[in-house]
Structures are given as structure tokens and as C-alpha cells.
Amino acid sequence: MAYALTRDRRRATAMALPPGVALRITGVPALALFAAWRRGPAPRAERWTGPVDVVHGTNFVVPPARAATVVTVHDVAFAREPELVTPASRRFTGLLRAAIRRGAFVHVFSEAVGDEVVTLLDCPAERVVCIRPGVAATGGGDPVRGRARAGAEAYVLALGTVEPRKNLPRLVAAFDRVAAHDPALRLVVAGPDGWGTDAFGAAVGAAAHGDRVVRLGYVTDADRRDLLAGARVLAYPSLDEGFGHPPLEAMGAGTPVVAARAGALPEVLGTAALLPDPRSVDAIADALRAALTDDDVRARLVAAGHERARHYSWSRTADELVALYQRAVRR
């Protein structure tokens, strides 16, 4: 059974759910529920779901319940670097502390985030469980269609929402340095606008080669596969990540990756990506240059990337989540 914390019934019923999965809608604004749950254990989830064994909050918030509870925490930037997230996301600290006091298990995608949940949210270590997600299949994209979509024969691809955490202004500056020596190269940024987009626009405006930065906005899954297939490099120099799907998707597509030595990215990507300091434009530029022009580096990254991407399986994720639910119920 699925549940939605919203009064927007039209939006909730538009969610894609597996066949046979019932949907329960609270009909109450999420902000009102969050305010209540920070103060106490009501209203409980069973008010909408009826009796259940486990209530899983898959995005930082889990309702109080008589049943066992599990909450997924994707990252802890809201507690460690609140300037990187929206004011709405900063509410998660109080909500998670309350859920932990009520006995919730915390599901994380990486050991790095798990360690921070323990230290920053005062969660008992035995209730933090790392279960890594699978990765979307990204092989089989058409590089010709990808280059046509990008409007370039040679391009660095950045995938993700445009927001401060993605560090796109520094990526633009690093690209500017590399582009000075390669007149055919473009930087293609694909993903929806988030918040703090003015800094990205300002960086493009200040770049000597800003006219070679291509902004695509949201792209379909098919376009995403094609863009990955056609890219020379995927750039993902985030200041913080709790996991990092796009680099692994690029690895599955055979595209070299330049990511960042930040958050969970070193743990998740290992030696299959170049991991410069994300706060150093010089370091990002050097890594891009190596991944673009050094054939030995490219070959190593492609081979290691294919192997790394194979480590992440949705079927294993499902099995481990079931085991977590059983553990929560026994407790």
C-alpha cells in the first residue's frame, strides 16, 4: 500500500504505482502534518492506512505509527550544510529527530550518510541500515541521437537539478579553461531548475566561452540514455551527495566520469571515476582535461566503470529492504 502526504488528490493520483498497489491520501497539507509530528506522535499513519506491519517514509519523513517505522535519509546536507538546501528541507532535522526518538529505523544509501546520521541526528548506530539502491539500465543509447540532442559532436554532460549543491558555477569555470584549447567542445547541462539558479546563469555570463554552454532543461529517460551514449565525459562535481545515480548511469553507458571527492561519491564510485576537489576550479579542469584527452585514462575509466555499475542491483535492494522490514517488525 502507498500513501501520500498531501491534500492535492489530483497530483497524488497521477503517481505511477505498480498494478494492484492501493493509494491512501491524507487530504491534509504536508506542512500541517510536519508541524504536528515535530510536537508529538499524532495523527498516526494508521488513520489513513488502517492496520499495517511497517510504515516506510521514503523521503526523509515518516509518520508516527503503532506499526514499526522506517525512514529513508538520502543525505544530511540539511543538518551539516543548510546553506546548500531549501528552507523547506531544513525542517527535516526536527522531524527525523522525532522519528528516531519514537524508534524508527533509518535507511541510508551509503555508509558515509549512515555515519553522519549517527553523529548529527543522535541516532543509535544499530538502527541505521545501509541498503544501496540499484541503477537504471542506461546501455543501448544512440550516440548519434545524443549528439543531435546536444547540438554538438563533442560535449561534457552534466545531469541533475540546477541547484547550489551541484556546484555548476565551478564546473562552468573549469569547462571555460578546457574549452579554450578545444573550439569544438560544449558543456551540456540537462536537468530541471531547482533553486539558486542565478549563480549558474551568472557563471555562464562571465565565462569567455559561455556561448558554448548548452542548457537543455528536463530530458526524458530516452534522451538521457542517448545523451550519455554521445557524451565524451559526464561531469558531476557535487559539493555533497548521499549516493550519486548519474555517475553510475554514465558508467553503465560506457562514459568516463569526473565526479568529486565529496560526500558519499568516493565510497560509491571508488576508483572508477576521477574525483577532484569540488571547491577547486583548477582541479576540476585538470580532471576534465585528463578524461577528455588521455586515451589511457579514458580506457581505464570505461573498464572500471562498467564493473562498478554492475555492483548495484535493484533485486538485491528489494531483498535487503524486505529483511529490514522483518527486522523492524521483530523489534
Homologous superfamily assigned to 2-134+315-330: Glycogen Phosphorylase B; (3.40.50.2000)
Residue 279 backbone dihedrals phi, psi, to 5 degrees: -95, 5
pTM beyond 0.95: the answer is no
Q: Given a cut of 90, is residue 14 above it in pLDDT?
A: no
Provide mean pLDDT across the span 9-14: 84
Give me the chain's average pLDDT, please: 95
Same fold, 2-134+315-330 and 143-309: yes
Q: Given a cut of 90, is residue 76 above it in pLDDT?
A: yes
Scored b (16 or more CB within 10 A) or e, 273-310 reads bbbbebeebebbbbbbbbbbeeeebbeebbebbeebbe
Residue 133 cell numbers, joined = 539502491
* In the chain, % of residues over pLDDT 90: 87
Q: How far is Cα 49 from Cα 127, in angstroms, rounded to an integer? A: 24
pLDDT 10s digits, 266-292: 999 999 999 999 999 999 999 999 999
Q: Given a cut of 90, is residue 10 above it in pLDDT?
A: no
pLDDT 10s digits, 163-206: 999 999 999 999 999 999 999 999 999 999 998 899 999 999 99
Q: How far is Cα 75 from Cα 113, in angstroms, rounded to an integer? A: 6
What single-letter DSSP state applies at residue 242? S
pLDDT 10s digits, 27-36: 999 999 999 9
Instruction: Say if residues 267 and 112 touch (Cβ distance below 8 Å).
Output: yes
Q: How far is Cα 121 from Cα 22, in angstroms, rounded to an integer? A: 33
Q: How is the chain split into domains, by residue range? A: 2-134+315-330, 143-309
Phi-psi region of 50 (alpha: psi -120 to 50; beta: other; left: phi over 0): left
Residue range 143-309, CATH number: 3.40.50.2000
Beta strands in 110-252 (DSSP E): 128-130, 154-159, 185-190, 213-217, 233-235
DSSP-derived pairing of the beta strands 185-190 and 154-159: parallel
